Structure 1
């Protein structure tokens, strides 16, 4: 078993460095920005900037890699991501941070795609699923570790910006030393709205609003936690716990969605998320335990929605199109990610910190209502025609290449054959 992972160990290590730095970067900015007196609206724009940069990275990276090669493109992106993080420590203004966060999002998406391309190229056909599972777990652990690292020092200084930049640079090493000279070409993301809508209206509608909800919470949860009075260690745990809960929830959710109409499963977990939203709004919980419990319920719900939506869309996908459909849905998720932090940041500034959950609740209500309506209009897919549910990282850390890494060799080849015939 271990020998199968030796060829990809260095790449998994590089990915863990990248996600560790991303965990630090994603938490230090809202925590430090709140301490500097930045408004919730400007901190929400950090998430908007990240989403714009991330989407651009998913779209443009394949062309860049085709021009300059994997190693050079990855080196440039890791270096620029490190520079953008150091720049945030030097220029303490919201508008500079928003622009730098967008640059970092672009570089982060591109770097992740290149690592995933290398992993996909080196994975043996019979080990692809296991390697994808290990890759997902490594990334989850790295993000969580990066966030929890902030509890070990003072966030008011330069330290954590420097540590994050160091790990962005360390992510360079495995690809620079890789013996793989010709990794597979990267998957290009294309947004064909008509094709996506014909394939599954529920997936198109739901993935956008889940992007709104998840990005709003993912960006501004640290701001909410800080203004609720939680200390730094509790803030880090408050932001990490939903991710862990979401990862664990994908196991029972995946089993359930393979056995019944995935749309009903989506409605169920959206309803659970809505209940958590309502409790945050009505109870205004104070202290660690009530906030942790509600955050776990909310995270276990919202971070399990994305893979259910992708699996439902792939159930209807024509042969050889599943990877492109997953890439298109990712771009729609990213479009929601642009709007979500903007809406939530404005609401928290104009009303109260709990307005964050009014935005997420609105998104979840729309998902529930529309999905129930579509259930009444279209029959469920037969169990025999379903694709297997596959746990996946949250949309904010997925790329079009993630879908290719998680696919079987037959699916990858079918996708390539379809693209060649276009």
Structure 2
């Protein structure tokens, strides 16, 4: 494993630096938006703009790569993203921020496609699981670390935006200096939503609703903290906890995923998320209880994403997995665009604690739909399920496809002794 990671350490370092810059800017939007007097609904539109750009980038970056190659696309997107981060404090208007978030979302998605293509090319069937897991850990650590960097400056100035831009700019050095060009990224055309829903209703509906949860947490968490009067340091800690929980809960949920009916685990995880959100709504502005609620609510989100992907793959052939992965990423993106808009409207109408109500209700819908699906389809054999692999909701179709193929290969490997016997 050590030898495998040494071969991709530069790529992983670059990803950590990118996530430090991107994670800073996500929280900065809420902090600076509050200082500028933006309303919750305006910041919700700004948040949704990022995910609109992200969805577009996942679709069109492979086209750009086929035309001019990985290195040029990577450098161009990095330059635009770095420029966009610096531009935020120069024009503090909601419409301008929405356009810049569209640009940054597109660039970030494209950067993921390129980086994940390099990582996938640098790994073999035997090492792909290790490489993907390390990649997901690097992303999560970058996001969490970014919140700590926010305490080093004042969101009312340009310093933190400049810092985020610098981090993104220097992140490309280790990646571009170590990665060699690889064949053009081939992202399979997404499976139509009707076919995806027919194959796995729970996977499709659950991924859509989870997209709403993830975008609301990552985009509106800082807005919630600002509106209830938390300090910048407290907001950074609150947002960090939304992501830190996944590092702890991913392992036990993944272990259980390979040993029980995944629908029951989806129900239990979503119910835990709903309960944590209900607690967050009920406990008021007690900081440490809010942090505990964020830890649990955010902690089940990433495992739920991987769980829903694994459950969907259980009902697909290996040949259909790439197209289904693209369809699921697209469905997740639609939910991510919708979620902040609903949360922003609710927070604008009824107050900041509607943040928890919207999250809790969405988790509740996932749990209820999982219960319903248990009555519509017999549980499959645990031995026939695909292996679980941690995949972050921010991953592009490249990583999701690679994870699906790895899971199928692992399942075939594990079944081989039984067939031989």
Q: Shorter-chain TM-score: what band? A: over 0.9
Q: Deviations over 1:213-232 (max 9, x none)?
A: 22112211111122222221
Which residue matches 2:221? Answer: 221
Provide the secondary structure at the position in 2 that maps to 1:38. coil
By how many angstroms is 1:111 displaced? 0.6
By how many angstroms is 1:190 displaced? 1.5
Alignment TM-score, normalising by the size of structure 2: 0.93
Q: Deviations over 1:83-104 (max 9, x none)?
A: 1111112111111001100110
More deviation, 289-298/364-373: 364-373
Do the aligned partners of 2:321 and 2:401 also contact (CA within 8 Å) in 1? no
More deviation, 2-11/262-271: 2-11
**2-side partners of 1:214 and 1:45: how far apart?**
15
Which residue matches 1:129? Answer: 129
**Counterparts in 2 of 1:216 and 1:123: CA distance versus 1, 3 Å:** same
By how many angstroms is 1:328 displaced? 1.3
By how many angstroms is 1:156 displaced? 1.1
**2-side partners of 1:409 and 1:376: how far apart?**
30
1:399 aligns with 2:407: no
By how many angstroms is 1:22 displaced? 0.8
By how many angstroms is 1:270 displaced? 1.0
Provide the secondary structure at the position in 1 that maps to 2:375. helix
Aligned length: 409
**1-side partners of 2:374 and 2:405: how far apart?**
30
Alignment TM-score, normalising by the size of structure 1: 0.93
**1-side partners of 2:332 and 2:236: how far apart?**
25
By how many angstroms is 1:363 displaced? 1.4
More deviation, 165-174/114-123: 165-174
**1-side partners of 2:345 and 2:179: how far apart?**
49
Give unpaired runs (5+ residues) of structure 2: 410-421
Provide the secondary structure at the position in 1 that maps to 2:178. coil
Q: Deviations over 1:344-401 (max 9, x none)?
A: 01111111111112212221222222221110010111112100111121x1x21101
**2-side partners of 1:231 and 1:191: how far apart?**
45
Do the aligned partners of 1:191 and 1:331 also contact (CA within 8 Å) in 2? no
Which residue matches 2:243? Answer: 243
Provide the secondary structure at the position in 1 that maps to 2:127. helix
Equivalent residues in 2 for 1:84-103 (5 A)?
84-103=84-103
Which residue matches 2:44? Answer: 44
1:348 aligns with 2:357: no
Which residue matches 2:310? Answer: 311
**1-side partners of 2:71 and 2:338: how far apart?**
33
Do the aligned partners of 1:348 and 1:354 also contact (CA within 8 Å) in 2? yes
Which residue matches 2:272? Answer: 272
Equivalent residues in 2 for 1:3-402 (5 A)?
3-178=3-178, 180-183=180-183, 185-284=185-284, 286-393=285-392, 395=393, 397-402=394-399
By how many angstroms is 1:407 displaced? 4.9
**2-side partners of 1:409 and 1:226: how far apart?**
42
Do the aligned partners of 2:321 and 2:405 also contact (CA within 8 Å) in 1? no
